[in-house]
């Protein structure tokens, strides 16, 4: 990303003045990850191997940054960049003291944020500066406990859980089965944690228990779950069966 130079060169009369060389430039790299309500759970490892965006269900990260010489940048980025990295690089900036705020949004609603102030941006061994910023949830989690029949041990055994949470008839939070939630068969319930969920009434479009082939063996559909206002994580419960969804 090309940046406008912070300082313009001064015209000097030959032989009259001398000036020090301009300060060197560096690349500032900011990687992001996410923390659920009160720090739990954590999503991502600040790299392309585990961006954390899908688990946190964040699609955009807005970055507002200020630095020396009146440097300011305000821009919205995909949570995962085209190269698979959760972060942004500011190229050719001056070393100095910077501050930034990151806002993570889901469907246009900011659900995570973090502010880092007075950060000393100086070249490391690579000549660049790299920081990791963990955005914190602005809303409590919703803990959805689910119960599977005793027969879920198989065959076929259950390998993954998949769910979709809807708001006002549209998909709000979906997991396609890539996350392995804790599994228990029979009377013991396990829990799906939906992080950073604003207060509202939602519809759990479906919760499905998938076998290793991705086929749903047990499901429950169309159950209303409510996240109440306040600073306490909400809870709901569902029971899966072999009854197919409509």
pLDDT of residue 188: 65
Q: Which residue has 């699609």 as its token pair?
A: 59
Q: Which residue has 């809303």 as its token pair?
A: 139
In a domain, residue 61? The reply is: yes
**In a structure prediction context, what are the per-residue pLDDT tens digits for the chain, which is 246 residues long?**
432 222 222 333 344 455 665 667 999 999 999 999 998 889 999 999 999 999 899 999 999 999 999 999 999 999 999 999 999 999 999 999 999 999 999 989 999 999 999 999 999 999 999 999 999 999 999 999 988 888 888 888 888 888 999 998 898 988 765 555 667 777 667 888 899 999 999 999 999 988 888 899 999 999 999 999 999 999 999 999 999 988
CATH number of the domain within which 120 lies = 2.60.40
Same domain, 152 and 213: yes
Total domains in the fold of the chain = 2
C-alpha separations of 55 from 33, 43, 51, 59, 173 in Å: 10, 6, 9, 11, 10
Residue after which a domain boundary falls, among 117, 137, 157: 137
Same domain, 45 and 97: yes
In a domain, residue 151? The reply is: yes
pLDDT of residue 226: 95
pLDDT of residue 51: 95
Q: Which residue has 């063996």 as its token pair?
A: 217
Same domain, 126 and 153: no
Q: 138 Cβ partners below 8 Å, 6+ apart?
A: 110, 111, 112, 113, 196
In a domain, residue 15? The reply is: no
- Give the range of the structural domain holding residue 187, as residue numbers without chain letter: 142-239
Same domain, 210 and 153: yes
Same domain, 35 and 131: yes
pLDDT of residue 151: 83
pLDDT of residue 176: 63
Same domain, 103 and 152: no
């Amino acid at each position: 990303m090309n940046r406008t130079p912070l300082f313009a060169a001064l015209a000097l009369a030959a032989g009259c003045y001398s000036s020090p060389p301009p300060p060197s430039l560096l690349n500032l790299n900011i990687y992001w990850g996410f923390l659920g309500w009160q720090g739990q759970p954590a999503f991502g490892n600040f790299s392309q191997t585990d961006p954390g965006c899908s688990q946190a269900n964040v699609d955009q990260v807005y970055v507002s940054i200020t630095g020396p010489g009146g440097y300011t940048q305000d821009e919205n980025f995909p949570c995962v960049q085209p190269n698979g990295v959760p972060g942004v690089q500011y190229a050719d900036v001056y070393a100095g003291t910077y501050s930034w705020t990151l806002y993570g949004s889901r469907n246009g609603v900011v659900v995570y944020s973090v502010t880092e102030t007075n950060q000393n941006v100086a070249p490391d061994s690579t000549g660049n500066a790299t920081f990791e910023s963990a955005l914190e949830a602005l809303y409590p989690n919703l803990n959805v406990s689910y119960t599977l029949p005793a027969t879920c041990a198989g065959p076929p055994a259950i390998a993954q859980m998949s769910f979709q949470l809807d708001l006002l008839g549209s998909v709000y939070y979906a997991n396609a089965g890539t996350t392995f939630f804790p599994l228990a068969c029979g009377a013991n319930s396990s829990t799906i944690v939906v992080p950073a969920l604003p207060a509202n009434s939602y519809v759990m479009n479906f919760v499905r228990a998938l076998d290793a082939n991705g086929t749903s063996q047990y499901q429950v559909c169309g159950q209303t779950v409510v996240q109440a206002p306040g600073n306490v994580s909400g809870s709901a419960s569902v029971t899966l069966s072999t009854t197919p969804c409509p």
